[in-house]
Amino acid sequence: MSREFRPSPWLGRFALLSAVATLLLLGIGGVVTSRGAGMAVPDWPTSYGYNMFFFPFSYWMGGIFYEHSHRLLASFVGLLVVALTRWLGGRASRRPLAIIGIIELVAGIVLVQMGPDWKGTGHFLAGIGGVVLLAAAAWFRNVPAPKPLPLLGWIAFFGVQFQGLLGGLRVVLFKNEIGIFHATLAQLFFVLICLIALLSSPLWPRFRQWTAPSTSGFRGLVTAMTGIILLQLIIGATMRHQHAGLAIPDFPLAYGQWWPAIDSESVATYNSQRLEVTAQNPITAAHVVLQMIHRMVAVLILFGVGFVTVRAWRRLGSKHPFTRICLAWSGLMLVQATLGAATIWSNKAADLATAHVIFGALSLALGGLASFLAFQPSQQVQPVITPVAGTVPRASLGQHPSGAMGTI
């Protein structure tokens, strides 16, 4: 006799824990970048030659503390995601997990033997392979979660591993481009985990039935605004990893003008007056233009999300769940805009810059969930018609239920 999936509140809680841990990881990653601690630990996956899990606490000082904490929390998130994948996939996920774990373990051992250039990646793969094998060995015979949760779990499974590899290569290769891609993928990964948490919640079926019939008219607008927020976060990551976050040190003006001069002489003057302590490279005209684009897109997002909220209020009412989501979305954008301005006014204080990263991630996640809700098909319950005594059902009055005309 086959077993059926029964929504467990613990699955939803575990998925929510994974989302919270991912948000904390984003925050610590923002601290690492804001404080210029990305290379405080110059080797990977070891930490100054130590196994990262046995790195002496007495060495956790300054930038090393932030970078090493980031690595440990990333490992914890990886463990959570592997367990979440196993839970969502049910007993059917044991065999593919075992196969993947063996492949990763063998590949890691082979890479370690290929020389010092491959040693770090080899240890990374071998470690992950061992964890995956342990997950496959767990003798839980739970049934798979309903679609698309198992698929989303596998996407998260491969995504967290790829993200960890990118983080390590950022250290080994010292490439800003990898850091930008790493930061962008982290934001998308957070949206994915939040979506899994939503769909894993026992309240999801009732919430979907409540919202789906009335939110289809918001699909294009909400999705477009979410895409623009993602673009904005990519621009922000580019500025952070190029140390151009204060390419313009004043706000709302820019070097005292609404649009600053970007000729070579003006840029040279800007560089001589820069106050950014963490600056490693002189700014260029491209950095200034990028900062101005970031400001203009921020204004577009602020008004765009506000427009969506007003439209939801008028069409759905203030008590509708989708309207409340949009209200929260608008609130996040107001806080995000304030944090962006405060970051400039405080000469890029690390705490404010990190909060700016965190609220940006929350804004993208909420927009992604709102877009997902807007694309849910309507679930309309067909009324059951009970014939009244002495009457004949309409289907028998000259028309069969199939739609063909009958005879009397």
One digit per residue, the tens of pLDDT, for the chain of length 408 reads 346 566 678 899 999 999 999 999 999 998 888 887 778 888 888 888 888 888 898 889 888 999 999 999 999 999 999 999 999 998 899 999 999 999 999 999 998 888 887 888 888 899 999 999 999 988 777 888 888 999 999 999 999 999 999 988 888 887 778 888 999 999 999 999 999 999 998 888 777 766 656 677 788 899 999 999 999 999 998 888 776 668 888 899 999 999 999 999 998 888 887 755 444 578 889 999 999 999 999 999 999 999 999 999 998 888 888 899 999 999 999 999 999 999 999 988 888 989 999 999 999 999 999 999 888 776 544 443 444 454 444 443 333 333 343 332
Other Cβ atoms closer than 10 A to 84: 26
Q: Which of 176, 202, 228 is the last residue of a domain?
A: 202
In a domain, 327, yes or no: yes
- Locate 302 and state its tokens: 């602020």
Q: Is residue 215 part of a domain?
A: yes
Q: Which domain holds residue 282?
A: 207-378
Query: 């313009």: which residue's tokens?
Result: 248
How far apart, in whole angstroms, are the C-alpha atoms of residue 198 and residue 373? Answer: 10
Q: Is 401 helix (H, G, I), strand (E, B) or coil?
A: coil
Asked if 112 contacts 126 with a C-beta cutoff of 8 angstroms, the reply is yes
Q: What is the per-residue pLDDT for 321?
A: 86
- Cα 92 to Cα 54: distance, rounded to the nearest angstrom: 35
Three-state secondary-structure class, residue 191: helix
Q: Identify whether 321 is part of a domain.
A: yes
Both 291 and 186 in one domain: the answer is no
285 and 356 share one domain: yes
Q: Do 175 and 219 belong together in one domain?
A: no
Q: Which tens digits make up the pLDDT trace of 20-64?
A: 999 999 999 988 888 877 788 888 888 888 888 888 988 898 889
- Does one domain contain both 172 and 300? no
Helix (H), strand (E) at residue 330: helix 321-345
Domain count, the chain: 2
Indicate whether 198 and 223 sit together in one domain: no
Residues 143 and 222 in one domain: no
Q: Are residues 256 and 166 in the same domain?
A: no
The confidence score (pLDDT) of residue 231 equals 96
396, part of any domain: no
CB atoms within 10 A of CB 407: 4
> Are residues 339 and 253 located together in one domain of the fold?
yes
**pTM of the predicted model, to two decimals?**
0.86
Q: Are residues 48 and 135 in the same domain?
A: yes
**DSSP E strand boundaries for 90-195:** none
Domain boundary among 159, 182, 202: 202
Where a domain ends, among 168, 202, 236?
Answer: 202
Any domain includes 398: no
Residue 298 domain-assigned (yes or no): yes
Counting Cβ atoms within 10 Å, is residue 321 exposed (0-12), middle (13-18) or buried (19+)? middle
Same domain, 234 and 162: no
Q: Give the whole-angstrom CA distance, residue 202 versus residue 6.
A: 9
Q: Quick one: which of 392, 395, 397 has its CA closest to 408?
A: 397
Same-domain pairing of 334 and 219: yes
- 86, 65: one domain: yes
Q: Identify whether 388 is part of a domain.
A: no
Of 364, 323, 331, the C-alpha closest to 217 is: 323
- 187 domain-assigned: yes
